[in-house]
A and B are shown apart, each in its own frame.
Chain A
């Protein structure tokens, strides 16, 4: 297991290198004079010069890259132009909101998706099967940010059950927090719910036709014990393998959903930074989110290696 962990960590290094390089390049591809974008069109040449110097943009590209990596290795991602704080602090402060949103959505997607998938599989070719799969396909096809707006107009504007947006920290009021996270998590979960439902259905259909299920039936086991104890356990293996990928999609999707619901997460921070041309925040937000994703993937792989010894003993 230690060897597996070491291998996995080592293989993350080149990925992190590419991630950091891309994050560095983001500022370089901004067309025209970045400082004019930052300082505004009515800025004087002296103001721009000062910004250029402060950011080290007057130096050659290679030197800028060396500096970027020098600071990066010390965990320093520079300072926000506008927030008056370091990028690392700004991003890390908001990361928990994004992570909890993605985590709730992940749980919702897996639970709802697996349920839909089971229903579809055990009532194969019935109207329940078609209904569940239509729902799954609908989830896969709607834009999640649009679905978020529809949820708002039904449950917040129409029925007035839940807030249209805003965030209540769990430390202040757990109920308030749960209310503020319900719609965002639902909106975010819908696509992945469709993915999970379809996978569960085809895995269940696969498993249900196998010999050991017939044996279990022949033994006279109860139907629900066959489905949940024998079949589902094996059908869930492919789901575990895609949890890593799903987390990535959810983290990325959270960026948009946060800005729809005005949740103070990394996503809204990045989108706000895009509108106000706060490039270090864009750069740092991108880097930290991607690094988080890489880290989550390692955790998922470890969990998978723990579940399935064939994985950790290597290819």
Chain B
């Protein structure tokens, strides 16, 4: 069905596109001016660069034993010292950020997909709302990362299973965030108008509802990213995460635990790397939240 587009509509469309671009520029400029966002972005970018170019940056092979320098303290040769096998901690930490960020981003993507799907379903399909939300409440009743630990333990230690366990743990809260935006947005006049002119469900859902539910979702996902890095470290630390010898920040700390007396640097540095990544994400999340919805500031801290 070809529709004749007259010049007036065309110029209107151009006008809309321009306004949209201006909106984006304004948003990015505000983010750039937000001090804690800038600091967080710089910090997090640094960690991402380390993870992406780990092979080029790491001075040693992270799994190479060197029996001539066991438990060496930090020095010019080994900035972060070495562990009980003489492996270079700096190289292990750099490679470990790759595992942490990889798992973190996978959890963010999966949580985003499932959270949006379930949240939309609950918010849009009224008769499903109650049942779905009771299931989400039930999953949220497991305190902290306990559910993730149990799931990862049952499924067996691997990176994939860690992602599955963390996704199941973090999806409910994300679905809640999406649902509550949907419940507000679906009552707004412009959605009613879209329905009145006969827009299909898919169009209403993606174009009108999802597009406007995006900013609280992005803030939430930044937060999920930070929490999954912390949670992955816990899983690895407890031995139910991705298995050794491949370094992950959590399992380096777990190894370092046995050397607290003689070689506290083994546990110290990977923890600092986790803190840096999480701090960067928290600062970015703060900035995004301040700019997209200042009213949320106090609430998100409730965690």
Contacts and interface: CB of A to CB of B under 8 A. Distances in A.
Interface of A: 14-19, 21-22, 26-27, 29-31, 137-138, 140-143, 145-147, 149-150, 152-153, 157, 164, 195, 198-199, 202-203, 206, 238, 241-242, 245-253, 255-256, 259-260, 270-271, 274-275, 279, 282, 286, 289-290, 293-294
Contacts of A19: 138, 141-142
**Which 8 A-B pairs have CB atoms at the shortest separation, nearest pair first?**
A252-B144, A18-B138, A146-B271, A252-B143, A251-B143, A141-B279, A248-B143, A274-B153
Given A145-B253, A251-B143, A286-B142, 11 more contacts: A14-B134, A15-B138, A18-B134, A18-B139, A31-B156, A140-B282, A143-B230, A150-B271, A252-B146, A255-B146, A259-B238
A137 B153 contact: no
Nearest to A297: B141
16 contacts: A18-B137, A19-B138, A22-B147, A29-B154, A31-B156, A137-B282, A138-B279, A143-B271, A146-B267, A157-B264, A203-B298, A238-B302, A242-B303, A255-B149, A256-B237, A289-B146
Contacts of A245: 302-303
Nearest to A198: B301
A15 B136 CA distance: 9
Contact of A146 (B135, B144, B253, B282): B253
Interface residues of B, number: 48
A19 B240 CA distance: 22
B54 interface: no
Contacts of A256: 145, 234, 237-238
Interface in B167-222: none
Contacts of B256: 149
Contacts of A147: 271
B296 to A, nearest CB: 11
Interface in B129-164: 134-135, 137-139, 141-147, 149-151, 153-156
A180 to B, nearest CB: 17
Nearest to A34: B154
Contacts of B145: 252-253, 255-256
B298 A142 contact: no
B50 to A, nearest CB: 17
A150 B302 CA distance: 26
